[in-house]
Structures are given as C-alpha cells and as structure tokens.
Amino acid sequence: MIKIGILGDIGSGKSFVSKLFGYPVFNADKEVSNIYKKNKNCFNKLKKKLPKFIISFPIKKKQLQNAVLENKKNLKKIESIIHPEVKKNLKNFIKLNKSKKILIFDIPLLIENKIYKNNFVLVYVDAKKKDINKKLRERKNYNKKIIKKLRKSQLHLEIKKKKAHYIIKNKFKKKHLKNSVKILLKKILKNERNST
C-alpha cells in the first residue's frame, strides 16, 4: 500500500488535490468537524477544560474560535483532547482500507504530530500567497486572527517543502490541477514499482 501525505499552507487546496487522486482520503478537518458534532465524550472533556467557552452540544466552531482568540494556550488544550480521537479514527480508516493500493492523508499537522512514517510519500501543494488569501477570504468561517494562530502551530512551510518528495503547483485552475495530479500519480506509481 502506498500512503500519500498531502502538505501545504492553510488554503492552498490540499483537500481538493487529495480528492483528485481518486483513492480513499482521510481528511483530518472533516474528522474534527464530526467529533465536534457527534462525540459527546469530547464535548464533556472540552467543557471541563474550557467551561467559559464550551456551552452546548454539538460544539460550535465559534465557541472554539473565541477560546483560541482569548488565549493561544487554549489551542493546545483543544488539541490535547481532539488529536487522540483523530488518531483513533485514522487507525480505523487504514484498517478499513487495507486492501486498497493507495491511501491519501489530508492532515494539516501530519509532520508536527509525528503521524507520518518514513514509508509515506509526501506531496507539497504549492500556491501563491495572494491566491491562498483570496481563497481563504471566500470561506464561510474566515477569521484572519484564527488563521494566524493556526499557522503558528504548524511547521514553517519551507521545512515542509523540503521534506516533500514531490511538489505540485496549484494555480487554482481545475483542468491544470487535474492534469498535474494525473502526471504525479503516474510518477509515484512508477517510482514505487522501481523501489520494490
């Protein structure tokens, strides 16, 4: 099985690129959203740690944003409860898809949380800052301060870029990106065949 980890800046199009590969995707942001909506146990733990902000279930993103904006240490508190759940779901995802040839991992903190192993193929999605910012502003829950804090909790982009085995340019043009992913997938498959 080939495990492909997608790296890049917030808003660089990692999720879109992940889908284009055409294989099962583990999307950490979606997993976190589901935990906030459905996991009562996590809600109780968060309520205990952040009683001033976590009021009702399902947890609303606004409550979490307010907690992070008031004190950046609150981000660590949230992560300490949420990340173990995400890791549990990740293990289940791999188990469920163990017969698949390729799995895609769209996890913002893939390197930071030491989730990836040496057998991961790392792909960095490279996009221009102005294009990224334009895309971010189009998001429903866009909050400049939150984005800034999230970026600070991540490794510097240059380090991620250096760690990547492949770099894919995202000019936010669907057709161009589809072709780029197609070419990249062929390259990855060829290289994996040659290395075995």
What DSSP designation does 98 have?
A: T
52-61 residue pLDDT tens:
999 899 998 8
Q: What percent of the chain has pLDDT over 70?
A: 97
Give me the residue spans of the domains in the chain.
1-24+98-196, 30-96
On whether the CB atoms of residues 10 and 147 are closer than 8 A, the answer is: yes
Give me the sheet containing 120-126, strands edge to edge: 25-27, 102-106, 2-8, 120-126, 166-169
pLDDT, the chain, mean: 90
On whether the CB atoms of residues 157 and 7 are closer than 8 A, the answer is: no
pTM of the model: 0.89
pLDDT at 50: 94
Burial class from Cβ neighbours inside 10 Å (0-12, 13-18, 19+) for residue 90 reads middle
- Could you tell me which of 118, 176, 142, 172 has the C-alpha nearest to residue 65? 142
Burial class from Cβ neighbours inside 10 Å (0-12, 13-18, 19+) for residue 93 reads middle
pLDDT at 135: 86
Superfamily of domain 1-24+98-196: P-loop containing nucleotide triphosphate hydrolases (3.40.50.300)
25-54 residue pLDDT tens:
999 999 999 999 999 999 999 999 999 999
On whether the CB atoms of residues 163 and 7 are closer than 8 A, the answer is: yes
On whether the CB atoms of residues 173 and 127 are closer than 8 A, the answer is: no
> Can you tell me the mean pLDDT for 103-120?
82
pLDDT at 116: 67
